[in-house]
């Protein structure tokens, strides 16, 4: 029957029922026949119902049908299931409330035979609508009196009813992608408590029907998946008991695997993870859970149904007779247990069909358990997940306890093996910071085994097991997943703290599969190879491996048509070149095709391998730069967009290496390195890059070209012909006005690089043009553009501040005014922008001259700048704070700015003093101390009270800096003391007679601490592990200057505070005389 005829029939029954009113004598009969007719229609086809009419009909039935009429309610429940679930009708809030009220009332009074229909309808209504059902959650989920209906039915001895109730809980917890809303935390905790207790009960139950047991397990595990995915913060629930149960079920049914009771229940304790570690987070790609809209029969039999939809009893896995030998026993660590699983050999030949069904059901249990564990370790605190590693990963080859590698190596289901690899990936992903605790050398000779050694042993075992699994695998799907898992493992493993040799073994193992024609395997292989090459801290093992021109694990194909590379070229370059050629040859079998697009992922990854090789091992690759340039240029000629993009990135890495060679080269080699780099850029700017900057070219490629241009370097730019220099400058200025934000951001950043080049610093016209386009970019609505513009503007202002005399003459007042206006406006932007704005403001304040200060607008700019900088010293990210301190210091250095007459002077000094005394970040304190001592004239420091308070702030800083609470700040402590010493001596050397009384008052009880510090610190500097006699002499000079100045004041001083000043000079001079005698 087509949709049109069905809709006609539906309209007929709808019109009959919708006309009924309460009290009609024929209402029951009409409802009965109408619901029979409605339920006889086919709802599994495409959506054909009218939602508005359907909602009205549902409301009408709720009003007319009495909950006590079980037969009629059962038919209504079937109608609800057909419309709400099968036709995916959007239920209005009013209809939802009425339906839930009706079904909850019915479930409280109905008999067992009609419970299944009610729960199935309830599950359909709850699916993805949990957040709209908040006021009914307590009636559904209460675990205390009055018991919620779902909680009560979960405890039912009827397995069909308990499964449907568990399914309803999973549907209630399911987070709909469309709705996007969630339940309250308390309701999630209720759901979790019910499901977790249910799994523990299963663990202690003897099931006579193994297939029925598997149905129970799978239903509960799928509900748990929905719940774990929906909970925002898994730290709010106790995961310990659940992980213990899931660990058992992930091995449930694996042949020849025996779990003792003690091993199964070792985690069943409350109170956190077995090993206490620090916090982190882990991330893993998980499948998006979407509603499985198929017939009820297909949805139930699917082993990978990610979401939990209402199901009929008839669609469940067919039960099988037979017994299972004590599959689960009550958890008791003191009692032995029989094997949790049995092998298929227990079934006779005439039971082979039943055995196969059981085998399939068991694999679904394991797969669902592994999926739950993936979600947990993906989303829970990484420090907590590391504490569970011991129960999933063995720490020695002799370990007999079943582990995650039991799943990966012994499971007969390929999907379960993949699930084990997904779980291992989840455990490793994001754990890099914590795995640095591993140390294979930290092996104790006594009985104690350190955690660092145990962790290193576990990492060794992971590598050994994965490599063995790869060698034994013959399934392409499994090989692909092992490659992906290895990639994540390599990216997170600290190889400098393990035995050497693992990286070589990984390379040997993966190269054996290079001959595979499967494109996905080749892509994953190259991604794994790239992760090996990009391991931090290039080791001698990898340097030796990658320096080889030939490698035994890679046999080069004989290809007469491929461009032959010199023999000395590293084998990895030859491998990538051959892959690129093979890909192109495979595509170009048809002369009409001239693109790598069909197999472009292989070519893309081959180029990425070359990029990471160049980035991490420039000392190996520099002799082959010419050949790699040819490879990149050949790829550019191909025309594929992605290939072109990676080829440009490779050219950028080559440019970076050439620039580094110029900087690091010795005097006699610098000229040749510079000549090679100039020729390279002539080739790029003449032949390769100009066509890629055309407006018709993809924006991502043009962005990459801008990034590449930023690698030219000042030495090369100076040697380039004037025409190419002009080409670079004009092209970048034009691209800064591009409408595409990616291109604009990259071009603006490149302009910022160019403004720092010495050859362009004196070109005031170019710098002015750059500032104009940067000021336009800083107004962009795209934050990424504004971030780049702020950095570039700070660079450009660095240039004009460094050449202020020239730019005072060549820069118009109008342009400088525009710069100030833009900076003051951007100072309220995001912190990522603000810290560069602080830097730029400081340079502009340093740039201003007396001529500028004759104009009222600049006086106003200075006042506003001081207020903004003072505000940012105490708020925002640390980069903002220390850049604001530095900017205030530059303002104080500018003698043209008269601080004494300004009404914000005291505010600036008080802000800096507060930062010196209280900031938790020592770099902020250092910069603030430096800023506070930037002025060279006593008049800049205001009245004696303010001046004396600066003395006190330095002493207070010395006192509280000794109490380092953050160990990461300890490395800056010596630098802070150095700066305090220099700043205190400078400030003291500006003292005048009128300041003595105020200083005595401010330093009351602190003068001895200051004197002791000034006396002893030079000697302390000399005693450091890395001592510097020049530093010692510098500090001694500061002290001598201070003593001389104070002595000169004392000679003619006769006012109040004379005794204080005399004692201060005597104490400082005493140490001076003693040091001369020694």
Instruction: Please answer whether residues 958 and 1011 qualify as being in contact, where contact means their C-beta atoms are separated by less than 8 angstroms.
Output: no
Are the C-beta atoms of 120 and 164 separated by less than 8 Å?
yes
CA distance linking residue 754 with residue 730, whole number of Å: 12
Question: Which residues 6+ apart lie within 8 Å of 427 measured at CB?
Answer: 282, 377, 385, 389, 392, 393, 404
Neighbours of 850 (CB within 10 A): 12
DSSP 685: I
Question: What does the pLDDT average to over 926-939?
Answer: 90
Two tokens, residue 691: 């066509």
Q: Which of 883, 870, 882, 876 is nearest to 911 (CA)?
A: 870
Residue 15: both structure tokens together? 């019109």
Contact 389, 246 (CB under 8 A): no
Phi, psi (degrees; rounded to nearest 5) at 896: -75, -20
What pLDDT does 416 receive?
95
Give me the helix-helix angle, 571-587 and 600-616, nearest 10°.
160
Question: Which residues, at least 6 apart from 510, have a Cβ–Cβ distance to it below 8 Å?
Answer: 470, 483, 486, 525, 528, 529
Confidence of residue 611 (pLDDT cuts 50, 70, 90): very high
- Can you spell out the DSSP letters for 282-310? ------------S-HHHHHH-TT--S---
- Mean pLDDT over 955-960 rounds to 86
Contact 528, 493 (CB under 8 A): no
Q: What is the DSSP letter of 232?
A: S
- Please write the tens of the pLDDT for every residue from 812-832: 899 999 999 999 999 999 999
DSSP labels, 982-1021? HHHHHHHTT--GGGHHHHHHHTTTTHHHHHHHHHHHHHHH
pLDDT at 556: 56
User: What span, in angstroms and rounded, lies between the C-alpha atoms of 643 and 260?
Assistant: 55
CA distance 36 to 30: 10
Per-residue 3-state assignment (H helix, E strand, C coil) for 322-355: CCCCCCCCCCCCCCCCCCCCCCHHHCCHHHHHHH
Following DSSP, what letter does each residue of 733-794 receive, concatenated?
A: HHHTT-SSHHHHHHHHHHHHHHTT-HHHHT-HHHHHHHHHHHHHHTT-S-HHHHHHHHHHHH
CA gap 513, 507 in Å, rounded: 11
- Positive or negative torsion for Cα 757, 761, 762, 765: positive
Give residue for tokens 């493993």.
493
Question: Can you tell me the distance from the alpha carbon of 837 to that of 787, in angstroms, rounded to the nearest whole number?
Answer: 10
Are the C-beta atoms of 570 and 624 separated by less than 8 Å? yes
Structure confidence by residue, pLDDT tens digits, 382-402: 888 898 998 899 988 888 888
Q: How far is CA 960 from CA 9, 919, 927, in A?
A: 85, 10, 17
pLDDT band for 744, please (50, 70, 90 cuts): very high
Phi, psi of 496 (to 5 degrees): -70, -10
> Quick one: pLDDT band at residue 585, thresholds 50, 70, 90?
low
Least confident residue range of 731-740, 760-769, 902-911, 985-994: 902-911
In the DSSP assignment, the letter for residue 318 is P
pLDDT, mean of residues 878-883: 92
Give the N- to C-terminal CA distance of the chain in Å, as an integer. Answer: 111
Residues 6+ apart with CB under 8 A from 564: none
* The residue count for the chain: 1078
Asked if the model's pLDDT at residue 796 lies above 90, the reply is: yes
Asked whether the beta carbons of 640 and 622 are under 8 A apart, the reply is no
Of 692, 789, 792, nearest in space to 741 by CA: 789
- pTM (predicted TM-score): 0.81
Report the share of the chain in percent with pLDDT over 70: 85
Give the model's pLDDT for residue 627. 93
Find the helix or strand (DSSP H, E) in which 383 lies. Answer: helix 382-387
Other beta carbons within 10 Å of 177: 11
CA angle 388, 389, 394 (to 5 degrees): 135
Total Cβ atoms within 10 A of residue 391:
18
In this prediction, residue 483 has a pLDDT band, given cuts at 50, 70 and 90, of very high
How far apart are alpha carbons 323 and 210 in whole angstroms? 7
Determine the pLDDT at residue 481. Answer: 96
How far is Cα 778 from Cα 772, in angstroms, rounded to an integer?
Answer: 10
Tell me the C-alpha distance between 146 and 101, whole Å. Answer: 16
pLDDT band at 865 (very low <50, low <70, confident <90, very high): very high
What mean pLDDT do residues 856-880 have?
90
- Among candidate residues 399, 315, 413, 337, the one with its CA nearest the CA of residue 370: 413
- Judged against a pLDDT cut of 50, whether residue 773 lies above it is answered with yes
DSSP-based three-state secondary structure for 47: coil
Asked whether residue 793 carries a pLDDT value surpassing 50, the answer given is yes
The predicted structure's pLDDT at residue 178:
59
Residue 599 has what pLDDT? 57
What mean pLDDT value characterizes the chain?
83
- Residue-level pLDDT at 347: 39
**3-state secondary structure at position 42:** coil
| Structure-token match 């290193």, residue found | 456
Token couple for 1024? 């450091």
Distance CA 796, CA 756 (A): 7
Is residue 841 within 8 A of residue 879, CB to CB? The reply is no
Phi and psi of 129, rounded to 5°? -120, 25
Least confident of 653-667, 747-761, 892-906: 892-906
- Write a three-state SS string for 85-151: HHCCCCCCHHHHHHHHHHHHHHHHHCCHHHHHHHHHHHHHHHCCCHHHHHHHHHHHHCCCCCCCHHH
Question: φ and ψ at 128, to 5 degrees?
Answer: 75, 10
**What pLDDT does residue 333 have?**
24
Per-residue confidence band for 1025, with pLDDT thresholds at 50, 70 and 90: low
| H helical segments located in 429-539 | 432-435, 451-472, 476-492, 502-511, 519-533
Give pLDDT, residue 841: 94
C-alpha closest to that of 511 among 521, 500, 519, 501? 521
Predicted pLDDT at 342 = 34
* β-pair partners for 281: 381
Placement of tokens 């006012």 in the chain = 1055
């Amino acid at each position: 029957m087509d949709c049109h005829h069905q809709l006609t029939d539906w309209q007929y029954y709808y019109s009959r029922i919708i006309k009924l009113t309460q009290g009609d004598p024929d209402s029951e009969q009409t409802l009965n026949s109408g619901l029979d007719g409605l339920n006889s229609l086919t709802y599994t086809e495409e959506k054909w119902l009218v939602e508005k009419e359907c909602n009205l009909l549902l409301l009408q039935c709720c009003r007319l049908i009495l909950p006590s009429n079980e037969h009629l309610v059962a038919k209504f429940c079937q109608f609800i299931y057909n419309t709400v679930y099968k036709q995916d009708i959007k239920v209005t809030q009013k209809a939802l409330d009425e339906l839930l009220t009706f079904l909850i009332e019915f479930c409280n009074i109905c008999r067992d035979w009609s419970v299944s229909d009610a729960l199935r309808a309830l599950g359909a209504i709850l699916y993805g609508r949990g957040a709209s059902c908040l006021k009914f959650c307590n009636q559904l989920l209460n675990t205390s009196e009055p018991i919620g209906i779902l909680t009560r039915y979960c405890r039912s001895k009827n397995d069909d009813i308990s499964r449907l109730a568990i399914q309803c809980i999973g549907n209630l917890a399911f987070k709909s992608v469309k709705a996007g809303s969630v339940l309250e935390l308390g309701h999630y905790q209720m759901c979790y408590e019910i499901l977790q207790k249910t799994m523990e009960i299963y663990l202690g139950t003897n099931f006579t029907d193994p297939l029925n047991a598997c149905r129970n397990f799978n239903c509960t595990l799928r509900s748990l998946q929905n719940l774990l995915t929906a909970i925002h913060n898994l730290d709010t629930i106790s995961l310990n008991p659940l992980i213990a149960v899931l660990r058992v079920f992930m091995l449930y049914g694996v042949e020849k695997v025996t779990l003792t009771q003690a091993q199964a229940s070792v985690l069943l304790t409350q109170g956190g993870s077995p090993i206490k570690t620090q916090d982190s987070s882990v991330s893993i790609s998980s499948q998006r859970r979407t509603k499985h809209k198929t017939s009820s029969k297909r949805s139930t039999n699917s082993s990978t149904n990610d979401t939990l939809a209402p199901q009929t009893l008839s669609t469940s896995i067919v039960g099988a007779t037979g017994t299972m030998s004590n599959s689960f026993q009550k958890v008791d660590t003191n009692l032995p247990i029989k094997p949790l699983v049995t092998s298929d050999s227990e079934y006779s030949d005439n039971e082979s069909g039943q055995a196969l069904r059981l085998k399939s059901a068991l694999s679904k249990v394991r797969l669902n358990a592994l999926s739950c564990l993936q979600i947990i370790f993906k989303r829970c605190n990484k420090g907590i997940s590391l504490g569970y590693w011991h129960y999933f990963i063995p720490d020695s080859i002799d370990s007999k306890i079943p582990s995650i590698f039991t799943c990966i190596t012994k499971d007969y289901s390929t999907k379960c093996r993949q699930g084990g690899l997904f779980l291992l990936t989840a455990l490793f992903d994001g754990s890099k910071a914590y795995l640095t605790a591993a140390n294979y050398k930290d092996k104790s000779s006594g009985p104690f085994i350190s955690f660092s050694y145990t962790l290193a042993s576990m990492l060794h075992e992971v590598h050994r097991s994965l490599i063995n699994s790869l060698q034994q695998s013959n399934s392409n799907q499994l090989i692909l997943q092992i490659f992906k898992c290895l990639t994540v493992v390599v990216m997170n493993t600290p190889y400098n703290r393990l035995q050497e040799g693992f990286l070589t073994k990984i390379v040997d193992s993966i190269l054996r599969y290079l001959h595979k024609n499967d494109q996905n395997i080749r892509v994953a292989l190259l991604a794994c190879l790239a992760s090996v090459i990009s391991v931090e801290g290039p080791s001698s093992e990898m340097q030796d491996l990658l320096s080889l021109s030939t490698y035994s694990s890679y046999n080069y194909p004989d290809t007469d048509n491929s461009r032959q590379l010199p023999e000395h070229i590293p084998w990895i370059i030859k491998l990538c070149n051959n892959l690129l050629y093979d890909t192109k040859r495979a595509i170009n079998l048809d002369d009409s095709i001239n693109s790598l697009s069909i197999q472009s992922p292989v070519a893309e990854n081959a180029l990425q391998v070359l990029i990471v090789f160049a980035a991490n091992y420039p000392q190996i690759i520099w002799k082959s730069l010419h050949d790699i340039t040819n490879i990149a240029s050949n790829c550019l000629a191909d025309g594929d967009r992605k290939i072109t993009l990676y080829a440009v990135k490779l050219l950028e890495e080559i440019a970076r290496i050439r620039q580094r060679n110029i900087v690091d080269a010795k005097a006699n080699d610098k000229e040749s390195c510079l000549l090679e780099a100039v020729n390279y850029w002539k080739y790029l700017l003449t032949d390769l890059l100009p066509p890629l900057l055309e407006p018709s070219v993809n924006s991502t490629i043009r962005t990459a070209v801008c990034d590449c241009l930023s690698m030219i370097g000042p030495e090369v730019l100076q040697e380039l012909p004037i025409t190419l220099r002009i080409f670079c400058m004009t092209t970048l200025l034009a691209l800064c006005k591009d409408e595409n934000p990616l291109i604009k951001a990259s071009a603006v950043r490149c302009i910022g690089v160019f403004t720092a080049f010495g050859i362009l610093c004196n070109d005031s016209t170019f710098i002015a043009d750059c500032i104009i386009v940067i000021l336009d970019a800083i107004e962009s609505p795209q934050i990424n553009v504004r971030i780049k513009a702020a950095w570039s503007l700070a660079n450009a202002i660095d240039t004009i501040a460094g050449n202020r005399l020239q730019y005072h003459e060549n820069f118009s007042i109008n342009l400088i005014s525009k710069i100030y206006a833009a900076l003051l406006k951007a100072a309220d932007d995001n912190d990522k922008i603000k810290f560069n704005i602080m830097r730029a403001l400081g340079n502009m304040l340093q740039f201003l001259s007396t001529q500028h200060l004759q104009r009222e607008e600049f006086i106003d700019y200075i006042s506003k700048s001081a207020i903004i900088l003072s505000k940012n010293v105490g708020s925002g990210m640390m980069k903002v704070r220390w850049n604001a301190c530095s900017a205030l210091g530059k303002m104080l250095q500018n003698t043209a700015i008269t601080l004494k007459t300004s009404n914000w002077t005291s505010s600036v000094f008080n802000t800096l003093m507060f930062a010196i005394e209280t900031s938790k970040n020592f770099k902020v304190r250092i910069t603030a101390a430096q800023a506070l001592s930037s002025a060279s004239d006593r008049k800049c420091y205001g009245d004696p009270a303010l001046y004396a308070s600066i003395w006190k702030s330095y002493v207070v800083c010395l006192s509280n800096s000794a109490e380092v609470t953050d160990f990461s700040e300890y490395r800056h402590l010596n630098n802070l003391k150095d700066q305090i010493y220099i700043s205190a001596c400078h400030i003291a050397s500006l003292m005048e007679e009128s300041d003595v009384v105020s200083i005595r008052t401010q330093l009351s009880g602190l003068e001895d601490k200051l004197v002791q510090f000034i006396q002893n610190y030079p000697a302390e500097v000399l005693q450091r592990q890395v001592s510097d006699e020049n530093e010692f002499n510098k500090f001694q000079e500061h002290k001598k200057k201070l003593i001389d100045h104070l002595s000169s004041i004392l000679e003619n001083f006769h006012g109040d505070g004379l005794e204080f000043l005399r004692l201060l000079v005597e104490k400082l001079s005493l140490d001076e005389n003693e040091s001369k005698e020694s």
